[in-house]
Amino acid sequence: MEEVEEIRLNQYQAAGGVVHYNGKLLVLLKPKANELRLPKGHIEPGETPEEAALREVAEESGYIDLEIIASLGTSLTEFNNHKKQERIVREESYFLMRPLGAKPVEQEREEAERAKFEPLWLDPQEALSSLSFETEREFLRRAIEYLSNQ
């Protein structure tokens, strides 16, 4: 009889941000995985999606003192994580953000976060063509469309 590996279900909510400043958009290079990503992460208990998005952008990119100017919506992402033997079902909410002041304020990040993510400011089309995952490209397209109508 063939042994069947059990895959557990991992369902959670995440929130992230598309930060724009001076015609550029913030993306994160994840060197170990060679991926270009948008900042996002788990919504903690008691946290709103907006609070989580602002916190995650600050933790992963170092940029603080941001304000949300628009919701970019929500989508459901599903995939198998074979390494962890689990099925991920993640509801992702993204928000368009900008610096509160005249320019972005960067705080010192922990060494572990600096090693995980390198913030880059890219032109919108370059960011769009460089992001590693379609779900994030869709949120970036929504941000670009919103900004072009302003």
pLDDT for 111 equals 74
pLDDT for 80 equals 87
Q: Is residue 80 part of a domain?
A: yes
- Which tens digit of pLDDT belongs to each residue from 101-143? 877 888 877 776 777 889 999 999 999 999 999 999 999 999 9
Residue 63: give the domain boundaries: 8-148
Nearest to 75 by CA among 20, 115, 16, 117: 16
pLDDT for 82 equals 82
Q: Is residue 3 part of a domain?
A: no
pLDDT for 101 equals 84
- Which tens digit of pLDDT belongs to each residue from 72-100? 999 998 888 888 889 989 999 999 999 99
Residue 46: both structure tokens together: 């008691």
What is the count of structural domains for the chain? Answer: 1
Residues 6+ apart with CB under 8 A from 119: 26, 27, 28, 29, 61, 62, 63, 106
Q: Is residue 16 part of a domain?
A: yes
